[in-house]
Amino acid sequence: MTSERFDLVVIGAGPAGEKAGAQAAYFGKRVAIVDRRADPGGSAASKTGVPTKTLREAALYLTGFRRRDLYGTGIDLSPDTVLEHMRARTAEVVRLSVDAVRQNLERHGIELVQGEARLGPDRTVHVATPAGERVLAGEVVLLATGSRPFHPPGVPFDDPDVHDSESILELQRIPRRFVVVGGGPVGCEYASIFLALGAEVTMVERGPRILPFADAEISEALARVFGGHGMRLLSDTSVERTERVDGALTLRLSDGETLVTDAALFASGRAGTTEGIGLEEAGVLMDERGRIVIDETYRTTAEGIYAAGDVIGPPGLASAAMEQGRVAACHAFGISFKDTVDPLAPLGVYSVPEVGMVGMTEEAAREAGLDVESGRSPFEVNARARIAGTTDGLVKLVFGRDDRRLLGVHIVGDDASELIHIGQAVLHAGLTIDYFIHSTFNVPTLSEAYKYAAYDGLQRLSRTQPAE
pLDDT for res 468: 43
Q: Would you state the pLDDT for residue 126?
A: 96
Residue in 215, 432, 336 with CA at minimum distance from that of residue 223: 215
Same topology for domains 4-149+271-333 and 162-268, yes or no? yes
For residue 237, the Cα-to-chain-centroid distance in whole angstroms is 24
CA-CA-CA-CA dihedral for 220, 224, 226, 232, to nearest 10: 100
What's the pLDDT score for residue 463?
Answer: 84
Q: At what angle do helices 15-26 and 79-107 cross, to 10 degrees?
A: 20
d(CA 382, CA 217): 19
Q: Which of 166, 192, 168 is nearest to 351 (CA)?
A: 192
> Which stretches within 355-464 are classed as H helix?
362-367, 383-388, 416-429, 434-438, 449-464
* Nearest in space to 251 (alpha carbons), one of 338, 179, 196: 179
- Give the separation between CA 324 and CA 314, rounded to whole angstroms: 12
pLDDT of residue 74: 56
Domain 162-268 of CATH type 3.50.50.60? yes
Domain positions in the chain are 4-149+271-333, 162-268, 353-460
Is 405 in contact with 431 (CB distance < 8 Å)? yes
* pLDDT of res. 73: 56
In the CATH hierarchy, which fold is given to the domain comprising 4-149+271-333?
A: FAD/NAD(P)-binding domain (3.50.50)
What pTM was computed for the model? 0.91
Instruction: Check if CATH label 3.40.190.10 holds for domain 353-460.
Output: no
pLDDT at 432: 98
Strand 162-163 versus strand 263-266 pairing type: parallel
- For residue 445, the 8-state DSSP code is -
CB–CB of 377/453 below 8 Å?
yes
pLDDT reported for residue 216: 97
Contacts of 84 (CB under 8 A, 6+ apart): none
Compute the distance between CA of residue 218 and CA of residue 216 in angstroms, rounded to an integer: 5
Q: Determine the pLDDT at residue 103.
A: 96
Residue 156's pLDDT is what? Answer: 96
Q: How many residues belong to the chain?
A: 468
Name residue 398's beta-bridge partners.
374, 408
Q: Of 8, 220, 13, 52, whose CA–CA distance to 149 is shortest?
A: 52
Structure confidence by residue, pLDDT tens digits, 262-278: 999 999 888 888 889 99
Which residue ranges in the chain fall short of pLDDT 70?
1, 66-78, 465-468
CA distance 387 to 329: 47
Distance (Å, rounded) from C-alpha 138 to C-alpha 145? 17
| Cβ 128 vs Cβ 320: under 8 Å | no
